[in-house]
Amino acid sequence: MKPRWRGAFLYPTVLVGLFLGLQGILGLAGVPLNQQPAIAAVPSLAALMLSLPWRLRRAWGEARPWRRLGVRASWPALLTSLLQGLLLAAALLLLIVVTLLVAGAQWEWQLTPPLLLNGLALGLGVGFTEELLFRGWLLGELTLLLGHGRALWLQALLFSLVHTRFDLPPAELLPLLGGLLLFGVVLAQLRQGDHGVLWGAIGLHGGAVGGWFLLSQGLLNLSGTGPAWLLNTANPIGGLMGWAGLGLLLAVLRARPVNQCTAVASAARPDTGARRDS
């Protein structure tokens, strides 16, 4: 069974509309602007979790939606994939931190329990939600419509564009969008190498986001660390060193041997090109 383009556009539009509409309602209710996204994200995530199985059953003809999305797998496959993603995130951040220290950053060690909880919640929330949406649903839907090769690059491009920051000058925005596109390719490649299990991508994405938040807010003084094109301290994948780190990760992922643990996962090799309903 093959989905239709109309539904592929309409489904995320409704979810985004719900998220933005809830923020508007919260604004009318007097909720501060900086608190609106976090509050609106809770019912929006609930809507995503409830609607995704329905979408896969209706448009993909999939009887086991959570397994097809890569969320459900055997425990060895899940834990191995998640740990691998976290280790890759740590390696990427280590490269960036070493470069920052050479460029003049200083350790400041100002971590607090609220900051740690904030970083953990940010990593888990962003990592799980965005991977479920982009490398779970979107990559799968585009694969059914276009084939895996074109779907991999298109989902990465859309992932990059939805993170556009209009407050940045073009000289900073364009490298950031390029870094996000490369990050989207790396995350999709990681899921493909894990035979469709999504938790490695969740670990890499969430570990990178939450880890950078803790480093930049509580562990490093980033003043005077060089030009943004080399070391973008707002988002490190928008600088040359971030690009270099992602390029190394992509090379490693494409050269790695098959993960024997995830190979025996009971997922039906979703969204890797091995199975396509057409």
Q: What is the pLDDT of residues 48-79, one digit of tens each?
A: 999 999 999 999 999 999 999 999 999 999 99
* Coil/strand/helix, residue 220: strand
pLDDT-derived band of residue 156, with 50, 70 and 90 as boundaries? very high
Measuring CA to CA, which residue among 96, 122, 110, 92 is closest to residue 232? 96
Predicted confidence at residue 47, as pLDDT, reads 94
Instruction: Answer yes or no: do 224 and 156 share one domain.
Output: yes
The long-range contacts involving 219-222, CB below 8 angstroms and separated by at least 24 positions, are 219/107, 219/108, 219/109, 219/110, 219/111, 220/97, 220/100, 220/105, 220/106, 220/107, 220/108, 221/105, 221/106, 221/107, 221/108, 222/100, 222/105
Instruction: Answer yes or no: do 48 and 138 share one domain.
Output: no
Is 205 in contact with 129 (CB distance < 8 Å)? Answer: no
Measuring CA to CA, which residue among 242, 216, 213, 211 is closest to residue 229? 242
* 268 inside domain: no
Amino acid code (one letter) for 256:
R
pTM: predicted TM-score of the whole model, two decimal places: 0.89
The number of residues making up the chain comes to 278
Instruction: Answer yes or no: do 80 and 209 share one domain.
Output: yes
* Coil/strand/helix, residue 73: coil
**pLDDT tops 60 at residue 271:** no
Instruction: Answer yes or no: do 59 and 77 share one domain.
Output: no
Q: Which of 37, 63, 89 is the last residue of a domain?
A: 63
Is 172 in contact with 189 (CB distance < 8 Å)? Answer: no
* 269 inside domain: no
Instruction: Answer yes or no: do 20 and 93 share one domain.
Output: no
**pLDDT tops 80 at residue 15:** yes
Residues paired with 221 in a beta bridge: 106
What's the rounded Cα separation, in Å, for the pair 145 and 85?
28
* 276 inside domain: no
Tens digit of each residue's pLDDT (9 = 90 or more) over 192-230: 999 999 999 999 999 999 999 999 999 998 887 777 778
* 275 inside domain: no
What's the DSSP call for residue 106? E
Number of domains in the chain: 2
* 101 inside domain: yes
- Supply 19's token pair: 């998220």
Maximum separation of any 2 CA atoms in the chain, in Å = 56
Instruction: Answer yes or no: do 191 and 239 share one domain.
Output: yes
Q: Which domain holds residue 22?
A: 1-63
Instruction: Answer yes or no: do 91 and 221 share one domain.
Output: yes
Instruction: Answer yes or no: do 50 and 142 share one domain.
Output: no
* 158 inside domain: yes
Instruction: Answer yes or no: do 157 and 245 share one domain.
Output: yes
Of the listed ranges 16-25, 143-152, 154-163, 165-174, the least confidently predicted one is 165-174
Instruction: Report residue 234: phi and psi, to 5°.
Output: -70, -40
